[in-house]
Structure formats: structure tokens, C-alpha cells
Chains A and B, each alone.
Chain A
Amino acid sequence: DTGVSQDPRHKITKRGQNVTFRCDPISEHNRLYWYRQTLGQGPEFLTYFQNEAQLEKSRLLSDRFSAERPKGSFSTLEIQRTEQGDSAMYLCASSSRGAGELFFGEGSRLTVL
């Protein structure tokens, strides 16, 4: 399967711990997006990369959140000092042509206790 893959699929952590999610996009896609989705809501934009450059960050992305795409391939999203409000599904998507069509991974579900 050469789709977008995310790891881990599920993460349960205690408040105050750090967590890191990984996203491997479709190999020829140069754009990579992170979204957050809470129950019953649509995905909310967090940030996106074109190759290794992070071009936009949402106000939702507080200073506890950091995303990287060091070699323009896979990306990581780290959340430091997690809070219960961080509990959500974190979705990664990739695209080859702007926001024309986004291909999503299955998401990483975070539960902060």
C-alpha cells in the first residue's frame, strides 16, 4: 500500500507527557498537511509543508506543538506537556498540487488522561 501512513494509530498518555506522531506521505507528494479532528467535528487545519519548508501554521498550533519535515519526506508532529484538551484525532494528508486533492492517512488518535 503506497498511501499515507501514520504512526502510532492510537496513543494514550498522561497529562504533562510529550508525544510524537509520524506521517509518511505518498512518495511523490511535495505538500504535507496536519489537521486535528475532535469528535463530531470536521478536521481543523494545523500546519502544512511544501517540501521541507513549513509555510503556514494555525493559531491552534500553540508553542507546545511543533512539526518538522526535515528531508521533505516524512513529518513529525510533537506535542509537549500534553493537556486533556489535546485529545483528538491527528490527521496527516499529502498532495502533489496545492490543496487540489488531499490524500489522508488513517489518523493518530490521542487520548490524554
Chain B
Amino acid sequence: TQLLEQSPQFLSIQEGENLTVYCNSSSVFSSLQWYRQEPGEGPVLLVTVVTGGEVKKLKRLTFQFGDARKDSSLHITAAQPGDTGLYLCAGIQGAQKLVFGQGTRLTINP
């Protein structure tokens, strides 16, 4: 059983479209992180959300943490081919351990 469920698992859209991917859990997290991973590389941190209801923006990417701190979303506006990658959400379990969702593999077609 996955502690963090991400949806959709795969998403392929055209350049210029908007999209939202989701990260859901039945557990409460003190914070959630979003990472992006490209083929052959390790994940790279995009953002950390800490407060329930928090919204953070990173250029065309908008991250939201659910009010109950059990879920999060990532919205991309006007997607570009450079946004292609595996998007991973991760939550801190216990004091020290980061657990990941299974990821959303995003492909932006020119």
C-alpha cells in the first residue's frame, strides 16, 4: 500500500496546455515536498509546503497544500517541453524519513 498516491501516473499533453497533478494520503504530514526527476538523474527539490492551505508559486508552477495537510497539488500553466519529467511528491514520516509517491510521468509534446 502506497502511503502517498499520485494521480495521474502518466500524462501526455500538448505544449501550451494547463495541467494539474495530485498527491493524496490518508495520513497527515507536517510538510510535503515536490521533486522533479529527469531520466538518468536523481530527483531535484522544487518546493516544500508546510502550512495547511499554503500556496506557493514557482514561475508557471503552483503548489498547494491541503487544509488538512493530507494532500497536495501541482498546477502547471502553459506547459512547455522543458517541463517533461517525473514529478514526485514526498512527505516526512517520523522525524527523519522522507517517503515518496510513485510519481507522475509528464510528457509535453511540442
Contact = CB atoms under 8 A, between A and B. Distances in A.
Interface residues of A, number: 26
Nearest to B92: A99
Interface string B18-57: 0000000000000001000000111111001000000000
Interface centre among B33, B88, B98 (most CB of A within 10 A): B98
Contacts of B66: none
Interface residues of B, number: 25
Nearest to B89: A42
A2 interface: no
Contacts of A102: 43, 45, 98
Given A42-B102, A107-B42, A101 B96 contact: no
Interface of B: 4, 6, 9, 33, 40-45, 48, 88, 90, 92, 94-103, 105
